[in-house]
């Protein structure tokens, strides 16, 4: 039985993972939750745990220069501080939840040769944390970095629910096809459980088996609502032009996917 401490008690993934292991892995993993934002984690006896899953951080905020220091303080420096405390307590494995954002927005197809080049404060803070945490790796301290793409599922936050909201309102959608990596929350939970059970260290890129096409996704979302969708290429040229200047449009219609050979 592996005892896991989740730091990020109120996070979407943290709550979901706790529920997942209590029903799917109850004979193999037992999970406990604490928070980093109020320093509750400092009250934990870390020596009691086999692994620590670091989920706490700032995400889903608009990019603003005034937030740069906060991103660095919370996503980078606090994460490294906690990892050092975990190491000092003799915990065997530290799992850090990073992001595909460490690769930046200029790359479309991410392979094992792609060098991280973040373009957002969020991505930069996560990559800085990765580098600081990796320095602590040793034969006695296993470091596991997870870089998931967009996570979706019931109750999720971020870009996916915004896409669902858009799909609900628009009966007409551009016929622009793309390729994107995504991962359902259940698949992410299953992957995290595997990393813990098998004590795997390194950098990992979990994703769903199939890539997602934004156009097809919107059609299927609307179909699930009992609504039909009219798809047209009439607006494509305008969208291609605007995507050069509007980040949200570029993000919605461009390719952004992990190679299938990435672990």
| Domain boundaries along the sequence of the chain | 2-152+183-204, 166-177+211-258
From the centroid of its chain, how far is CA 122? 11
Q: How far apart are CA 29 and CA 19, in angstroms?
A: 11
The predicted model gives 157-179 an average pLDDT of 92
pLDDT interval class at 61 (50, 70, 90): confident
Q: Which homologous superfamily is 2-152+183-204 in?
A: NAD(P)-binding Rossmann-like Domain (3.40.50.720)
In contact, 13 and 185? CB cutoff 8 Å: yes
CA distances in angstroms from 138 to 82, 104, 142, 205, 206, listed in the order given: 16, 29, 7, 22, 24
Measure the CA dihedral 105/183/145/155, to 10°: 100
Q: What is the pTM of this model?
A: 0.95
- Give the torsion sign (CA, 33, 131, 59, 102): negative
Who contacts 71 (Cβ-Cβ below 8 Å, separation ≥6)? 58, 121, 122, 124, 125
Q: Is the pLDDT of residue 62 over 80?
A: no
Q: Reduce the DSSP state of residue 33 to 3 states and report it.
A: strand
pLDDT in tens, 101-155: 999 999 999 999 999 999 999 999 999 999 999 999 999 999 999 999 999 998 8
CA dist 257 and 238 (Å) reads 24
């Amino acid at each position: 039985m592996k005892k896991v401490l989740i730091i990020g008690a109120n996070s979407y993934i943290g709550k979901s993972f706790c529920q997942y292991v209590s029903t799917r892995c109850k004979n193999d993993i037992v999970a406990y939750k604490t928070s980093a934002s109020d320093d509750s984690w400092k009250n934990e006896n870390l020596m009691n745990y086999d692994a620590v899953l670091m989920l706490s951080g700032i995400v889903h905020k608009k990019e603003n220069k005034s937030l740069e220091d906060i991103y660095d303080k919370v996503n980078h420096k606090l994460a490294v501080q906690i990892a050092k405390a975990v190491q000092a307590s003799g915990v065997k494995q530290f799992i850090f939840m990073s992001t595909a954002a460490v690769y930046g927005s200029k790359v479309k197809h991410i392979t094992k040769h792609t060098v991280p080049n973040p373009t957002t404060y969020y991505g930069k803070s996560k990559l800085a944390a990765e580098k600081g945490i990796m320095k602590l790796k040793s034969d006695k301290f296993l470091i596991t970095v997870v870089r998931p793409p967009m996570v979706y599922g019931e109750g999720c936050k971020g870009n996916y629910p915004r896409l669902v909201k858009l799909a609900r309102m628009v009966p007409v959608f551009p016929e622009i096809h793309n390729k994107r990596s995504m991962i359902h929350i259940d698949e992410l939970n299953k992957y995290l459980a595997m990393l813990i059970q098998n004590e795997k260290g390194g950098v990992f890129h979990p994703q769903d088996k199939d890539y997602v096409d934004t156009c097809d996704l919107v059609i299927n979302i609307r179909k699930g609502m009992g609504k039909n969708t009219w798809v047209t290429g009439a607006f494509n040229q305008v969208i291609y032009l605007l995507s050069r200047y509007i980040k949200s449009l570029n993000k919605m219609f461009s390719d952004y996917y992990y190679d299938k050979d990435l672990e």
